[in-house]
Structure 1
């Protein structure tokens, strides 16, 4: 095989931020499965290609790499650990547990490599490895709802994070969150992407450049209008949005110049930024809904946190930028002319805007005691959340 080919499938946290990627063997660019029966060879191929032939920093974006491992490769990795502090070895479900396997996992953990149990079933010998695991992956499709609930209950006392894999619907995602799963993977979020070389796709480069120009404080209304007019799809979606029920204009707005006058520079900047980001069409709809909902909720709660509504909305809007772009937040924001306050909030949760976005995450996670300690009005946040959710769903439907 002349090309180095691997695939990656993102793993999300409860906030739809990319936590890591499962890195998979691929025989050809068109392959959707490994097409290789030798698991040892597949793992070796992935490791060699990932760390010697690929631009690993761009491929992973600083996230964890989850890599399948057989019993043989577990022992090989334990003898020569690689990629400490950035790799997770997944113990495959057909690995027979014995003293050599357990010892290999202990060595790997001591070296800084994290351990996941793949396709975990409670009534198997892998149960004895639960205390050694950093992650336990449960196949949602392999279990009934009652069995899934039992696995979540039995695994709750362990320190490992629960990862729901093969999540295919919004209902399954919601159910897994309800049961305490913290990480999620499956076709509902994204299918594996195959790479022969990792570069930011051209469409996302163009989108990021557009977003950067939109956020530039030197840009004027005339230039913003010109930027939108150059893009037929963007123009169409902006006009649809401004003529929807969520923008109660008295008269129909049928050209971009009139839209710019109606929205003003800040309004145009905000909405065109959102429309540009929402064009990343391989990302799950739920991620885009969360983005809109969080931005609107932030705007509604701006006053209690002593921040400007426009800044609050922007921080909420950009809070999922790393998930949308598959790149680290710090790296993305370096390319955007944002204020230091906005950057500090998004990267380090600092300042008043940082407190606001932290409170939003805590609300989404149901961390009521933390919100109470911070002096937040949970009832007011609940009302803002429901209103923001309804608003976001309406906007998404309108587009």
Structure 2
């Protein structure tokens, strides 16, 4: 049986709003399925994932998809709606007449076309009138060199995207150089490290997260915690009241539980809690925290262990970015288990391995994914299902909020 892999990396604008995701496809860890051509692998991924999970994984954002040469010549992208699909021309595609004809035709049909890992070359000049986005890998082409090219095309309608942006300083440098979009994991690291004490509100959030991660919810305990936070109470009741199933106004948390149900309550409260820590942060950061929590939970359930600790591990994996503090300082003041702390700080224990696994999956580092999966005796197909399920579920929660 052939398995398809998919991961997504967010693409941000100059305000650090998420405008799209690059959907990354492979034929398996370590090129495990050598009999599958790149074109067939692309088609399988698009049919298995882009058709079925397209709107769930993208929402209103753009979906950037790499297409090999033959799939472009054969107009494979035209099988999909042009609305939020960005066709990425891979860097190894030759700038042939056949490719130019295909690009012209797809551009006229309304498709957004991007040049991936672009290196300035006169042979691509005739393609530029049909190109909407040019992506520079700043590890291959320096920001200074890219800036010179951007300046030459300043009067065109082309937008420029900086890939492999790993630090906040690189983001600022690229922004000043004229880039419009940015891709990388700079936003998952603290922009500014500050030493500040934790407010009582964060302790309330931590207590709430611990309660909702338990296998059996203690509704009385959750109600008492939520009642201490006016914002959480208001948001929860507002969500319950917005349900089309509600015939009369819900005025208490107990009523809200009846209408939302245990599962929606558990997950929605998690989203509200983590999002309430710092409203100035990019929305994708909150969603990524929740997605990691769900992925870790689903994977950890296979070990017949209490998955609540795995949920917390994923949920708190980006707290350094959310609070602009070193993670070790934050965890020193938080009432979480030592196993969770060791996983977050040093990737120790099974929790640490599961956390490393989701980070590798997000970055499409399939060799590392394969190594960790084998060490933990995890089925590759189930792992793929867990990731897809966590993405769909997180997108649903974000839409609810």
TM-score by length of 2: 0.49
Identify which of structures 1 and 2 has the higher relative contact order when contacts are C-alpha pairs closer than 8 Å and 6+ apart: 2
